[in-house]
Amino acid sequence: MDIKRVQILVEKYIEGAATPEEEAELINWYRQSNEQQMEWLEEKDAVRLRMLSNIEAQTGAVRIRTIRLWPRIAAAASIILALSVTGYFILHKSSQSQYAHNDIKPGHNQATLTLANGRKIILTKGLNGNLAQQGNTLIAANQGESVIYTAQQNTDQPISYNTLSTGKGEQSPYPLILADGSKVMLNALSSITFPTSFNGGDRTVKITGEVLFEVKHDQRHPFRVTANDKTIEDIGTQFDVNAYDDEPAFKTTLIEGAVKVSQGSQYKLLKPGQQAFVQNGTIVIKEVDPENEIAWRNGKFRADGEKLDEIMRQASRWYDVEVVYENDALRNQAFGIIGNRYANVAELLHSLELTQKVKFKINGKTITVIKP
């Protein structure tokens, strides 16, 4: 089989999007492949190594790999071994659970744009053409791919402010492109308030919840994001800000470029793959996998050894449910997930129950976490 075809099947398998025929095709390739053909998979990342383990479980035959593991591969393998103890499972379409008749549908792609005069525009996939005029700025939908703010070079018009927001069970259907060319995407229960044009020396926006930024860098006009008493200043391009009120810490994750995170007189500079974790007035830098942090943007759930409490807070916002715990100690159990964000909640709960560390009950829009 052509390696490009294998790569496509691997990605679909990991995401839980492969058909039964495609899964069979991938497993058949696995059975017939030699060690050299397998090497590209084993050198990729922990996700693909987990995938191999999952296929081995399905085929009933564990292969003995003789290729030399590079240090980073050995480290990845050790991580997988540790995560297997806490339960790292791939969600898939064929999962069956006890919640089949008491399930909850996922959220959807929708956001609300509130103009300066209070008028509200519901943003959905089907919008196209001009939506509104705000002073010297035209707002238009580009064939369901983005909503673009285009400002005319006329500084006589007063600057007005608009707000893009999502509720529980909603996220941006496509990027919002600000007047300076920067792109923003909103996760569930989030908002951004921004000027309709940028005529001053800097560019400042205010957010709540979680927002993914792809900033058009301009050294002469700094781009700043404020959330409560914290400020993120762009020195590069792409970063994610998690500022939910119900989260124990404020998090900024850098994907590309560089950003500066400030609180009061403190500040830290981030490099790609780093996260600023702000809690109790202290900024701490740690290494993370950015793909986990922005998985929501790509329609996925991803976590590496995250506490159940954090996973279920994400589920609460996306599925618009209340989560309660029979025992607070269950909140601190660590899990890992890779799954489809657009699947019903039963798939998520089923994958967590496979660890035999927790069980769930659904009653209407309330999910109760209980001991198994």
Could you confirm whether domain 295-370 is CATH 3.55.50.30?
A: yes
What's the rounded mean pLDDT across residues 177-182?
94
* Predicted local distance difference test score (pLDDT) of residue 257: 92
Q: Which helix (H) or strand (E) holds 316?
A: helix 308-319
State the average pLDDT for the chain. Answer: 81
Residue 182 and residue 223 in contact, taking contact as beta carbons nearer than 8 Å? yes
Could you tell me the pLDDT band of residue 52, with boundaries at 50, 70 and 90? low
Q: Give the burial class of 66: count Cβ atoms within 10 A of its Cβ; 0-12 exposed, 13-18 middle, 19 or more buried.
A: exposed
Residue 334 and residue 341 in contact, taking contact as beta carbons nearer than 8 Å? no
pTM for the model:
0.74
Chain centroid to CA 23: how far?
Answer: 25
Could you tell me the pLDDT band of residue 60, with boundaries at 50, 70 and 90? very low
Which of 91-100, 130-139, 162-171, 223-232 is most confident? 162-171
What's the rounded mean pLDDT across residues 286-313?
90
Whole-angstrom distance, CA of residue 236 vs CA of residue 131: 31
Q: Which helix (H) or strand (E) holds 306?
A: strand 300-307
Could you tell me the pLDDT band of residue 54, with boundaries at 50, 70 and 90? low
Q: In the structure encoding, which two tokens stand for residue 134, read together? A: 């705000």
Whole-angstrom distance, CA of residue 120 vs CA of residue 113: 6
CA-based nearest residue to 140, from 128, 130, 150, 151: 130
Give the neighbor-by-neighbor strand order of the sheet with 322-325: 322-325, 366-370, 359-363
Domain boundaries, the chain: 3-86, 105-200, 295-370
Q: In the structure encoding, which two tokens stand for residue 165, read together? A: 């927001």
Chain centroid to CA 363: how far?
Answer: 27
Residue 200 and residue 179 in contact, taking contact as beta carbons nearer than 8 Å? no
Please state whether 363 falls in left (phi above 0), alpha (psi between -120 and 50) or beta: beta
Residue 243 and residue 209 in contact, taking contact as beta carbons nearer than 8 Å? yes
What's the rounded mean pLDDT across residues 12-19?
66
Q: Give CB contacts under 8 A, 24+ apart, made by 349-353.
A: 349/97, 349/99, 350/91, 350/95, 350/96, 350/97, 350/99, 351/89, 351/90, 351/91, 351/95, 352/87, 352/308, 352/311, 353/97
Distances (CA, A) of 96 to 93, 99, 224: 9, 8, 46
